[in-house]
Structures are given as C-alpha cells and as structure tokens.
Amino acid sequence: MHAFDVLGDPVRRRILELLADGERPAGAVVEVISGEFGITQPAVSRHLRVLRESGFATVRAEGARRLYAVDRTGIDDAERQLARYRAHWSQRLDALHTEVARGARARRGAPADDTTDDATEGTTDETETT
C-alpha cells in the first residue's frame, strides 16, 4: 500500500501518534482507538496489520502481549516521496517568484500613468482639514 494511502486514514494516523510516544501493548491501542473512533477490536487489529505490512509499525511478542512501536521504514518512504514533490514544486515556485519580481521591477520603471494599482484605484491622497 502506498505510504499516503496508509497515512490518509485518520485511525492509522492516530495509532501512529500513540506509538510515537513509545512502544504500546495492542490492548492499550485497541482501548484508546475503540473509545475515540467507536470501532471494534478486529477493526483496530486490521489497522495495526496495515501499519505493520506497510512498514509503519513493528510488533514483538512479550509473553502473551504484543507490543507495537513505530517503524521508520514507512516514514522514510513517505519522506522520500515528499522530497520528490518538494523538488518539483520548489523549481516552479522559484520561477514564479522570479517572474513576480521581474514584473515588480518593470512596474517601478514604467511611467507614472501606467502604474495604477487596482487596490488603490479611485482613492485620493487628499486629507480633510477642519
């Protein structure tokens, strides 16, 4: 499953928030998530399985308990994908910034008649004296 599909679900995001504070037993995760979202234990278990299978959570057995923790693998994958988007948009936003600055310089150098700003159009600089 794609990292953003995993993170797109509010239940899974909340589980990751819980696990970000440290390792938690499955029962504690179920208790919090069931209370907040009104879903059953099997539904929470399915979300935990998705997090495990997609590299966002790990599980280890300790006696009869299963302890869950955040796994950096999924987070690193999401960060790599975001980096590609950042690079894509950074170039375009830098180009837009350059064009805006170029337009501002051109307006400053234009004759006074041609520099009317839409926001100030129709206003005067006259002040009322009493």
Residue 120 predicted with pLDDT over 60: no
Give, as one character, the DSSP assignment of residue 9: S
Q: What percent of the chain has pLDDT over 90?
A: 55
pLDDT score for 68: 98
CA dist., res. 36 & res. 53, Å (int):
24
23-80 pLDDT per residue, tens: 999 999 999 999 999 999 999 999 999 999 999 999 999 999 999 999 999 999 888 8
Residue 4 predicted with pLDDT over 50: yes
Domain boundaries, the chain: 1-109
CATH (residue range 1-109): 1.10.10.10
Model pTM score: 0.66
Exposed/middle/buried for 25, CB within 10 Å: 0-12, 13-18, 19+?
Answer: middle
Beta strands at 57-62 and 24-25: parallel, antiparallel or unpaired: unpaired
